[in-house]
Structure 1
């Protein structure tokens, strides 16, 4: 007898993802609300769990608890998803007493029943008490954050207004989650309301990415910013280190890109309609550790207008050794004014650094940056899956930077952007090299406008091999 296919409507599924994102943001704010509590919740990763190329890597109870909550909620609603929800974190946390505890969250089957809800809160509080060095007050507060009802009606109403429709075969999907992207910022950042420097607590994101197992393509994503804006009624003197949950308003953005089914948050509509980079410059966001040679090549166009004639003027300024690598690419990519419609009439490239891979890619989706470029293997599938789906729903892409650049160098253009998109899978094989198998090893380039991506790649070949 054939197994009956597990299906649901896209609208119901998106609403489920949004509820998970809101829950995650609420937990992140609650855990950070008390400095004395927060210091108990940090564990340094070691061995195979450390995904950093160098230096220390940390996880907090927020990482573990959020990932477990999302998995528990989704498998409660869709049991067929069990075993297909993958995340950056393991489900264990070691407290300051040296005890390693596996975190398990039981979803209340009837949250409208006070007795059932209290039973779930008490069960979670008992588990958390062992993690929090027997701190019952803190454990109860966190358990409440895990289970208390949240008002997600505004987000769910938006799904209805957007008109999300279509059917989803649940048997063909899997997840990559990053419960707290930019964990170091979550631990250390001051709570500044200033977003201009792309650093701080507002760069923390929760990333829920859904991909098609067969095509390895992201098809849905939810990105939550727990600390998006300080509340108007929050006193400014709480900005020193940690602050209460009520001091912050979060935001949650989403997108669906599954074949002909494409929908996204209403607030992203303005970014999709924008055809010219902001402030007269092409703003490229990237890592503060990006290669200086690449940054110099991008910014070398600083005072030159980016038009179809820029290729000629730029070639006159480059050295003979650079001309052979860049001339054909620039001529090909700049020959058509329509191809550079998104950058025509703008002045140069401005490179800015930012914190958190999810946040930097989100800046491209929201229009706060025109591109996100990373030439090094320092992001992972959990960092990019969600935002790639959001960008795809807007007509944008996240591609393999190294191979895209090679296409420009070798033939002057990128013949097939879809073939270079980042792909997603899960081997499920443990071992010391497991995180490396999930690394985006060839860098990335994220853009809303493919023609702008072509132009930026035309500026990069001169940096190849430079130090």
Structure 2
């Protein structure tokens, strides 16, 4: 049975409440009002939303996890990178697998968290526009998921990620990971609006391996996929619905997503825990959507060991190069 949904659609001079009806024909009738009587399009859309969808995955079918439903909260972003979706660019070429803009940067984000602790538990990132058939012009997508609850950590990429990008808890990081990381100087993905001080430090740490991309969900996905080591953003313009899904997947891989500002102020010699983002507490003194902003910025990562090395280098290089002591 399809889940009911309500869409609010505005047309000139009229407000229409469009809902998924119990009968497909009724949904067609409502859609026709929005689509100016285009019955073929209305029927095609209604057929899609009324069909039963079943997802199976051998990895998930092999485990059983009982999570109390009354502790779960959900953050959903139905279209992340909305501007890229509206623009609809399909001819963008990737740089080492990373798209700076275009439909490939559009994601659908579903993150599930513990309402008592704010810890992300489950995440789904759907990338609907991965590749386009040159003949039919139809798009193929890809869905990524992760589950991290108590002793269970499982994700959809664990059979496809090289050992260097694995988790420390599963002993997939080899002893020479540290030297390799230092040798290649790390790679990072950033927003086009990133602060100049951060960009300058990143170029000193990462050299030419700093990539710009649209969409918080997509940039997080670049870390999940192993295309880069780090996604860093210093502004407060991402929100809980932007980060929860990928954060859950990264936790299942042995990584996470932390508050950048707190990381920069933290003293690693005191052994303080990394300030993971949480999803259940609004920002004090804020109102509206700002209650749920990631106020201190963020860093997404796959390996704590790599993150510690990266932070050490970043902090060193945030100091102006011409400063004399």
* TM-score, normalized by the shorter chain, greater than 0.5: yes
Matched, 1:297 2:188: no
- Residues in 2 aligned to 1:200 and 1:277: alpha-carbon distance in whole angstroms: 30
Q: Deviations over 1:330-367 (max 9, x none)?
A: xxxxxxxxxxxxxxxxxx57221111111111111110
Given that residues 28 and 42 in structure 2 are in contact (C-alpha distance below 8 angstroms), is that contact kept between their aligned partners in structure 1?
yes
Output aligned runs, 1:20-99, within 5 Å: 72=4, 91-95=7-11, 97-99=12-14
Please give the residue correspondences for 1:324-363 in structure 2 after superposition, counting only pairs within 5 Å. 348=207, 350-363=209-222
Output the CA distance in 1 between the equivalents of 2:303 and 2:18.
42
Q: Equivalent of 2:189, from 285, 293, 302?
A: 285
Alpha-carbon distance in 1 for matches of 2:143, 2:266: 36
Change (3 A) 1:168 1:268: farther
Q: Deviations over 1:125-183 (max 9, x none)?
A: 2232333344333222211121234564xx434422xx232212111101101111111
Distance 1:268 1:261, change over 3 A: same
Mapping 1:80-229, distance limit 5 Å: 91-95=7-11, 97-106=12-21, 119=23, 121-150=24-53, 152=55, 155-160=56-61, 163-192=62-91, 194-196=93-95, 197-198=98-99, 199-229=101-131
- Secondary structure of the structure 2 residue equivalent to 1:168: coil
Q: Give the 3 Å change call, closer, same or farther, for CA 193–164 of structure 1 in structure 2.
A: farther
CA positional deviation for 1:98: 4.3
Distance 2:33 2:270 in 1: 57
Separation in 2, partners of 1:426, 1:294: 28
Contact 1:277 1:283 in 2 (8 A): no
Structure-2 change in CA distance of 1:436 and 1:182 (3 Å): same
Cα deviation 1:412-450 (Å, max 9, x = unaligned): 576102xx11111377xxxx9321111111100011011
Q: In 2 relative to 1, CA 144–426 (structure 1 residues): closer, same or farther, beyond 3 Å? A: farther
Moved more, 276-285 or 366-375: 276-285
CA distance in structure 1 between the partners assigned to 2:182 and 2:88 by the alignment: 27
Between Structure 1 and Structure 2, the one with more helix by share is 1
Structure 1 alignment gaps of length 5 or more: 1-18, 20-68, 74-89, 109-118, 303-347
Partner of 1:400: 259
CA distance change for structure 1 residues 279 and 205 in 2, over 3 Å: closer, same or farther?
farther
Q: Is the 8 A contact 1:193 1:229 kept in 2?
A: no
Quote the residue 1:435 is aligned against: 289
| Aligned residue in 2 for 1:314 | none
Taking only aligned residues, the RMSD between alpha carbons, in angstroms, comes to: 3.0
1:250 aligns to 2:141 (yes or no): yes
1:413–1:352 Cα change, 3 Å:
farther
Structure 2 residues not aligned, in runs of 5+: 167-171
Q: For the Cα contact (< 8 Å) 2:84–2:102, is it kept in 1? A: yes
Structure 1 residues 268 and 435 mapped into 2: Cα distance closer, same or farther (>3 Å)?
farther
Q: Deviations over 1:3-23 (max 9, x none)?
A: xxxxxxxxxxxxxxxx9xxxx
The 8 Å contact of residues 377 and 443 in structure 1, kept in 2 or not, is answered as yes
What per-residue deviation string (whole Å, max 9, x for no partner) do you get for residues 63-82 of structure 1? xxxxxx8x638xxxxxxxxx
3-state DSSP of counterpart to 1:300 = helix
CA distance in 2, matches of 1:165, 1:151: 18
Per the normalisation by structure 2, the TM-score is: 0.82
* Pair member with larger Rg: 1
* Cα offset, 1:384, TM superposition: 0.7
Shift of 1:464: 7.4
Quote the Cα distance in structure 1 between the aligned partners of 2:181 and 2:272: 24
In the TM superposition, residue 288 of structure 1 has moved relative to its aligned partner by 0.8
Alignment of 1:304-319 (within 5 A): none
Q: Is 1:366 the equivalent of 2:197?
A: no
Instruction: Output the TM-score relative to the length of structure 1.
Output: 0.58
